[in-house]
Amino acid sequence: MTIDFSSIFHQDSVLVIFTIIAIGYLIGNIRIARFEIGVTGGVLLCALLFGHYGYTIDPIVQSIGFTLFIYSVGWQAGPQILNVLRQDGPKYLVLTLFMTAGSFLLVLGLAWLTGLSNSFAAGLMAGSLTSTPTLVGAQNAVSSGLVSLPTGETANSLIESISVAYAITYIFGTVGLLLVVKLLPNLLRTDLAAAAETFANERGFKAENVEEKIERPILRAYELDDPGLNGMTIAEALAARTTKEISYKSLYRLKRGAALIDPQPETVIETGDKVAVFATPEEHAKARDLYGLGAEVLDRDLIDAVVDVAEVVVTNPMSVGKSLEQIGTYERHGCYLTRITRSQIQLPLAPGTVVQRGDVMILTGERRALDRAIAELGAEDRKAVETDLLTFAAGIVFGLMLGQITVKVGDINVGIGTAGGLLVAGICVGFLRANRPTFGRMPAAARFILMELGLLLFMVGVGLNAGGGIAEAIGSVGPVLFVSGVVVTCLPLLCGYAFGRLALGMNPALLLGALTGAMTSTPALGIVQQAAKSTVPALGYAGTYALANVLLTLAGTMIMLL
């Protein structure tokens, strides 16, 4: 029996799609000397190979992937768009505009100098910056009819040119950016670890390592057998011991005889009372010595508590713009903050970290205490297993309809296109979701799979379209594209660093994090954080990443319209 695999793959596009994604994942996770091209690069390379041998898929697959990805980009950016106006926001805004505009003008200049067409220029910018949103914006400008086709060109040929240029420049865009980010501090003799520590001291917090171990609080019950506590209020007992290890909010429940008492600062202690304390193991040990806690007791009335973990979306204006120290989830409510993320980037768990609208805080505590903290912070993003597909689909429909609207200026129809419409719709839904977490519910796992799958489906289509013509392109414009790609990858980063240091006066560790965000490169952020031995660069990355995705999408569209 002979199995013709070539024939099987040619007849089944679904098989082609998921084979490319599976092999691409394997290739993307190969690490050589701490460098890897990532899943997107792996899928692109695999798709190019399949495309070279004539394998194709239905164009609707790439369209669906494009729709899911670009809408998700807007959805993710929505909560952070207004945050760029707070604290360091103006610097992030100016830096992102500088990087996007500088890259845009540099690409146009190189295209004019080397005679590259707009389609090659768009792919050059997208690949050199490893910016999929730029690629999406450029290709959509063609497919949606915004671009007037040059004589002798078709929409498919322009899209293929964009894809080919993207493929040729993408690999160095990925590896080159990592190399520049890694070598730049050494070349400039900048100690990123010291810079991160300086920034941390200026903001009043200690820089933390991403992998820092978080102790989980536990509930234990003790007998109060210290005669010196008899007749004192809880507030007086705590004040008498000059320590902040335990606050009265950590006292979960008091038992006197058979009566259960909710501890308050004015509650009077009597000898023989029993108390349940919610604290970490280390704090339990210190509290026993400092507060006269007696033997640990097993009393189900005291320790029968609901200890839970809550994912809280910050929306309350009273908490937005405050530092973690000012919010004081532990001091005020007895709840432990174990993680805080912004745009899916983990931030330092430090007193000086400033909270912004849409940030997600992971709190651990007794259920009643959690409810009090949630009411002050915003709303709980409950771990629902269902996604609000009605809102998700309606948002996409709104974006697609918005992209169809054009305004006639002279003889030219001007509009934002499908990519722009989906971005605007995603931003609106994401912003509303951040302010009203019960609206448009989407669990984290659902967000990841929709955005990741959308991106990979789109990249499969890009690679297959480019595969057929990449050999010819490498022979004709390949060297020009590659050299131009090296320039576009390196020069904006170097200029952006100089601009950030000299014009904006930004801290080097924070600045490099912001630059990786402006170039939408999460792997590069990892390199910076390793060099800085701190999560401080993540603050800069989160400040520029969301806005950069939006601007780079528009840049791809603009190149094709010129």
Cα separations in angstroms, 305 against 296, 365, 369: 17, 10, 11
Query: What is the CATH classification number for the domain harbouring 370?
Result: 3.30.70.1450
Same domain for 516 and 460 = yes
Same domain for 437 and 358 = no
Same domain for 334 and 442 = no
Flag whether 215 is in a domain.
no
User: pLDDT-based confidence at 83, cuts 50/70/90?
Assistant: low
178-187, 484-493, 513-522 — which one is most confidently predicted on average? 484-493
Would the pLDDT of 233 be above 80? Answer: no
Same domain for 506 and 426 = yes
Query: What is the CATH classification number for the domain harbouring 458?
Result: 1.20.1530
Of 54-63, 109-118, 146-155, 231-240, minimum mean pLDDT range: 231-240
- Where b means 16+ CB within 10 Å and e means fewer, 400-409 reads eebbeeeeee
pLDDT at 214: 53
pLDDT at 208: 46
Averaged over 239-259, what is the pLDDT? Answer: 66
Q: What are phi and psi of 100, to 5 degrees?
A: -70, -45
Flag whether 210 is in a domain.
no
Same domain for 262 and 335 = no
Flag whether 451 is in a domain.
yes
Flag whether 484 is in a domain.
yes
Flag whether 241 is in a domain.
yes
Averaged over 430-440, what is the pLDDT? Answer: 71
Of 210-219, 444-453, 455-464, minimum mean pLDDT range: 210-219
Averaged over 89-98, what is the pLDDT? Answer: 87
Same domain for 50 and 120 = yes
* Cβ neighbours of residue 519 closer than 8 Å, sequence gap 6 or more: 99, 129, 130, 131, 177, 492, 493, 548
Instruction: Tell which wins on pLDDT, 335 or 251.
Output: 335
Same domain for 167 and 29 = yes
Query: Is the whole-model pTM more than 0.75?
Result: no
Instruction: Tell which wins on pLDDT, 246 or 60.
Output: 60
* Cβ neighbours of residue 242 closer than 8 Å, sequence gap 6 or more: none
Cα separations in angstroms, 499 against 94, 97, 368, 459, 487: 10, 12, 49, 33, 18
15-51 residue pLDDT tens: 888 999 999 888 888 877 666 677 877 887 888 888 8
180-204 residue pLDDT tens: 888 888 888 888 888 887 877 766 5
pLDDT at 81: 58
The single-letter code of the amino acid at 345 is I
User: pLDDT-based confidence at 494, cuts 50/70/90?
Assistant: very high
Flag whether 217 is in a domain.
no
**Last residue of some domain: 380, 401, 430?**
380
Same domain for 359 and 396 = no
Question: Can you give the residue range of the structural domain that contains 139?
Answer: 5-201+391-561
Number of independent structural domains in the chain = 3
pLDDT at 491: 93
Same domain for 430 and 344 = no
Averaged over 133-160, what is the pLDDT? Answer: 81
Angle at alpha carbon of residue 73, lines to 19 and 438, rounded to 5°:
110
Return mean pLDDT, the chain: 79
User: pLDDT-based confidence at 102, cuts 50/70/90?
Assistant: very high
Flag whether 220 is in a domain.
no
Same domain for 443 and 318 = no
107-123 residue pLDDT tens: 999 999 998 888 899 98
Flag whether 372 is in a domain.
yes
Same domain for 55 and 162 = yes
Same domain for 364 and 408 = no
Q: What is the biggest distance separating any 2 CA atoms in the chain, rounded to whole angstroms?
A: 96
Q: What are phi and psi of 361, to 5 degrees?
A: -110, 130
Instruction: Tell which wins on pLDDT, 218 or 193.
Output: 193
- Tokens 């690629």 sit on residue: 135
pLDDT at 215: 59
